[in-house]
Structure 1
Amino acid sequence: MISIALCRTAWLHPGTSYVGNIADPQESMWFLEWTPFSVSHAHSPWTSDFMNYPHGLNLMWNTFTPLAALVIWPITATLGVVVAYNVLITLAFASAAWCAWLALRYLRMSPGASFAGGLLYGFSPYMIGQAGGHLHLVLAFFPPLLLLCVYETVIRQRHSPVLLGLLLGLLCVAEFFTSEELLLDGVVAAVCSVAILALFARDAVASRLPYVARVIGSAVVTSAVLLAWPLSVQFFGPERPIGVNHPKNTYVADLLSFVLPTQNQLIAPSAAVAHANGFSGNPAETTAYLGIPLIILLGFAVWRYWRTRLVRVTSLTALLMAVFAMGSRLHVDGRTTSIPLPWAAVVRLPLLSDALPVRFMVYFYLLAAVLVAVCVSRLSASGARDARASMVAAAAVTVALLPLLPHVPLPASTVTLPQFFSSSRDVSQIPVESTVLTAPFPYRDIVAVSSLVWQAQSGMRYKIVGGYWIGPDPPHTVTPQLERVLTDLGSTGVDETTPALLPALRLELRAACIRTIVVTPGPYAAREADLFARLLNRAPAHELDVLVWWNVNV
């Protein structure tokens, strides 16, 4: 019910509205359609030339979620990609909270304590922020299940190590096909926690190490066998990005972000929000807010139960995750200082250069949920003898979590869906797997990116030039001048096309094998149509609410 309340604005019109307010959700909708389409049409699921034709893209470097796409396939096929996306976002909160509850119950926390910890994790500022645009990061079922597996591997050791390693390997494979970054961050968090545990239990390392080694070996073999193909495409396949995909030390936790609420919180003074808006990154990544009451509660739990090994390991690992989240240089109130942080050394390790530090906060919130659950469980146990202790525990948790209450409902956006693309009769006139040029041109603009949803809604009937993806920079394209002209025209309405430029634009249309051109409704549709009429020397056909040039032959 909490998940539905958060997403209720999108559910008022689930076929055209979606949770979020940036372009990334529309890219995710394209991925939700691509995976089942590639499977049913015998295309490679890891690469595609249906976007950025003819060069295509390497999906392994993009945020596609093939596991979720296959699970949600029946809804995508019947109700469309927008509805499927909203279903996944809504379920993500509930599934994350439930997995955290499951892990805490496994750690023998009381039902009430597990419920409180599940709420903290499943509806944390990390989850609320990332729900604004990053489906692959809000599907956060993996961290709690990883905690469960690591605890069983290192502490309890009750099951066959080969079987446990197989299950751990399958879990990692599932997360690989959901979010490679959360998997990589999880490996870092697990290594840190096990290393810290080894420091506190040095006498037990020798006896437990063989079991741990067998589990890890089995997990590595399982993962290597199942991931050999996609990994080979990722690191040796076409259209790989060169260099770092995101600016360094930008998407980090500001020192003040731990105590200043953002626009995502229900209780957020305007002055605090103004400061938070000045932090580096963007609102979807400003996810480190804890609030002073929760910080006090966590500090009390660590002080009161420090002798418990679980608390020692959990608190130190959580502290390390928070430090990692702050990046390689300390940020204070939006300013980058010269103070170096440990991430400056870690980021030099392979693959970690592409990880965004602030996303370690998902593991911090999970570990914070463990500390809160320990505190509530212990105080509740005391409450069996003293009713006041239970009341104190309930009040402390309520006060600590109250500042984290999200602003309900979450922001929602509307995707423009012309009737032409939603009509199977009309869109079926486009030749199968031919190349279509749509205007506005799809290039990193929240309006123009809607063309990805149109293509997905058509069942991937056609290919497009342009798109929204991660790849080589500058991107490989056969239509650079046409893209520049259409992008400027779609954003400013200014047509700078001279008669001398028309022959070059015609050559680019021919190089891209454009068969159909579609101009959709918009503020500059008349000017876009005029440009194509001059290029093709003929008028368009009126098809429902769009203008179409069929059988383009330059």
Structure 2
Amino acid sequence: MLSRRFVRSRLAAWVGALFATFAPSMVSHAGGHPNIVSQFLVPLIIWRTLELRVPGKAIRNGLMLAGLLVWQAFINLEILFMTAVGLGVFCVVMAVVRRKQHRGESLAFLRGLAVAGVVALGVLAYPLSVQFFGPQSYQGLTLYVRNFGSDLGAFVAYSSRSAAGNADVAARLAQNPAEQNSFFGWGLVILFLGLIIWMRRTAVVVTLGAVAILFAAMSLGPKITLNGVNTGVSGLWSILHHLPILDSAVPTRWALAIAPVIAIVLALGCQRAADLIKAQPQSRGPVRVAMITAVAMALVPLAPTPLETVKMDAVPEFVTAGTWKQYVDDDHTVVTLPLPDSSYSDPLRWSAYTGQDMRIAGAYALLPNEDPQNPQDRTATFAPPWRPTSGLITSIKQGNPTPTINDTRREMTLADLRFWKAGVVVLTPQTHDIEILRTFSDLVGFRPTWTGGVWMWDVRNLVDDPDAEVTADSAG
């Protein structure tokens, strides 16, 4: 896209494209967010949006853009939203700048945009209505997540997955390894600003620079932090994060959208250097050395290192052999110890292995808050409501002492199993598994059976019988 629509030099296009593909933010998200790094449609959306200004092709161009928008919506709406904001700002500014020389472009653009909007919204109306208003829909992220802003110091630092990176520094400046969105390093920041100044007479470049600065400001979050210290200064996001739709965005991810902007400016800068060499052959040597040196100093330290990987535990035979089918139906689920969450996701893989036919209790997902004391609060949580038994098992796995098991705890466990509609409870070999096994056996009153690589408790009688009880005697 760069070589066909923005620059003539293939080398300039490769410089921009390689940075966009392997930017530190892309590499960090590759460790856990495949839908975020799947941005192959973004260049096409940018291209087809700019093509809307061609007169006489409103329907064709609008339909092509609509198709891309619908496709991207089913990959990741957050990336689509950030792309739309960046393109919106860019197109509005350019329309104002070029209004006298290209008056017909704006009208053609609006016609094509109307076609794209009507078609895309028509196709997406139902899925979007389910997402925002359907069952288990939520209304904005919690304030805790909305405070996930980029550290101002991160913009000139290097991510943990960059050649020049330092894991300890990156950990101090980012919420987690998958959210190192703004780590560009001193070299690239200086080069980017230098290219903006060098090409300041080009409206496209200046506008791109303004878009990058806007995204950087939005990524800082409600309160600006510098090298891990809250400065107490309110950021631009403090005004925006209460607005609908924006209240569902993670502020630090706005820095993700800076990478393609920088990529385009890098390509344009390399093209300007190539044009200067052609126009002034006598300056070929100094210009070439200066450009190669500047690009190398900016990008070589950002070269990605291999992603950290760990070997996953095999899916137990209890799942692969279909043994679970004896216990799961429309009224029963599999309960794993501990329940799946962001730190223990194996049961999610098991369910995926069965095509999600194996219904499990628990999840790692965005769900509406269910606070009985505040039923109007429907902000998102990352797991189902806390239950006493799941909290106890998680605590034991973390190495905390096992509390005394009494009849009150047994009654709470019985209530939890009924809440989860448990048919069978399973435990795989893992850290502190013996302590978990003994504790849960004491809670339900009987020992598990080892089958298919799991310890298994068949709890259907406890769950289905409203008069069933678990006491110290039965647990004996």
TM-score of the superposed pair, with normalisation by structure 2: 0.85
Correspondences of 1:236-315 after superposition (within 5 Å) = 236-245=133-142, 247=144, 250-268=147-165, 270=166, 273-279=167-173, 281-315=175-209
Secondary structure in structure 2 of the residue aligned to 1:337: strand
Query: What stretches of structure 2 of length at least 5 have no aligned partner?
Result: 373-383, 463-476
Q: Quote the Cα distance in structure 2 between the aligned partners of 1:107 and 1:322.
A: 23
Q: Which residue of 2 aligns with 1:234?
A: 131
SS at match of 1:145: helix
Spell out the pairing of 1:165-176 with structure 2 (5 A cutoff). 165-176=62-73
Choose the corresponding residue for 2:227, options 316, 333, 341.
333
- Cα distance in structure 1, aligned partners of 2:132 and 2:146: 24
Deviation at 1:443, TM superposition (A): 4.3
Aligned to 2:257: 363
- Residues 1:149 and 2:56 aligned together: no
Partner of 1:130: 29
Superposed CA offset, 1:162-198 (max 9, x none): 1211121221111111111111112211121122213
Tell whether the 8 Å contact from 2:146 to 2:249 is kept in structure 1 after alignment.
no
Tell me the residue number matched to 1:380: 274
1:404 counterpart = 2:311: no
Distance apart, 1:429 and its partner CA: 4.4
Q: Confirm or deny: 8 A CA contact 2:146 2:247 kept in the other structure.
A: no
Distance 1:418 1:488 in 2: 24
Deviations 1:390-428 (A, max 9, x none): 44433332222112112x211113332343246335455
Contact preservation (8 Å) 2:220, 2:251: yes
Q: 1:203 to 1:345 in 2, by over 3 A?
A: farther
Structure with more relative contact order (C-alpha pairs < 8 Å, separation 6 or more): 1
* Structure 2 SS opposite 1:267: coil
**1:313 shift after superposition:** 2.0
CA contact 2:154–2:183 (8 Å) conserved in 1: yes
Hey, what's the Cα distance between the residues in 2 that align with 1:314 and 1:429?
59
Distance 2:22 2:208 in 1: 20
Closer/same/farther in 2, CA of residues 350 and 426 from structure 1, 3 Å limit: closer
Q: Comparing 336-345 with 176-185, which one deviates more in the overlay?
A: 336-345
Q: Secondary structure at the match of 1:231?
A: helix
Task: Say which of 197, 204, 211 aligns to 1:317.
Answer: 211
Structure 1 residue 145, shift from structure 2 partner: 2.1
- Report the Cα distance in structure 1 between the residues aligned to 2:385 and 2:423, rounded to whole angstroms: 15
Hey, what's the Cα distance between the residues in 1 that align with 2:429 and 2:272? 62
Amino acid at match of 1:214: R
2:351 corresponds in structure 1 to 455
Residues 130 and 445 of structure 1: CA distance in aligned 2, closer, same or farther (over 3 Å)? closer
Distance in 2 (CA, whole Å) between partners of 1:375 and 1:534 is 69
Deviations 1:44-78 (A, max 9, x none): xxxxxxxxxxxxxxxxxxxxxxxxxxxxxxxxxxx
CA contact (8 A) 1:131 1:138 kept: yes
TM-score by length of 1: 0.74
Residue identity (%): 24
Matched, 1:161 2:68: no
One-letter code of the match for 2:129? S
Of the two, which has the highest radius of gyration?
A: 2
Write the letter of the residue equivalent to 2:349. Answer: V
Q: What residue in structure 2 maps to residue 466 of structure 1?
A: 362
Match of 1:87 in 2: none
What CA distance in whole angstroms lies between the structure 2 residues aligned with 1:366 and 1:479?
40
- Tell me how far apart the structure 1 counterparts of residues 206 and 140 of structure 2 sit (CA, whole Å): 39
**Does the aligned pair in 2 maintain the 1:517–1:552 contact within 8 Å?**
no
Contact 1:479–1:512, Cα closer than 8 Å, also in 2: no
Mapped contact 2:413–2:444 kept (Cα < 8 A): no
Q: Secondary structure at the match of 1:144?
A: helix
Partner amino acid, structure 1, of 2:311: T
Could you say if the C-alpha distance between residues 221 and 275 of structure 1 is closer, same or farther in structure 2, counting changes exceeding 3 Å? same
Q: More displaced, 304-313 or 477-486?
A: 477-486
Number of the residue aligned with 1:79: none
1:119 paired residue among 18, 22, 41: 18
What are the residue-to-residue correspondences of 1:14-93 with 2, within 5 Å? Answer: none
Q: Secondary structure at the match of 1:118?
A: helix
Task: Report how far residue 159 of structure 1 moved.
Answer: 6.0
Classify 1:248/1:527 alpha carbon distance in 2 versus 1 (closer, same or farther; 3 Å): closer
Following superposition, the deviation at residue 479 of structure 1 comes to 8.1
RMSD after superposition: 2.7
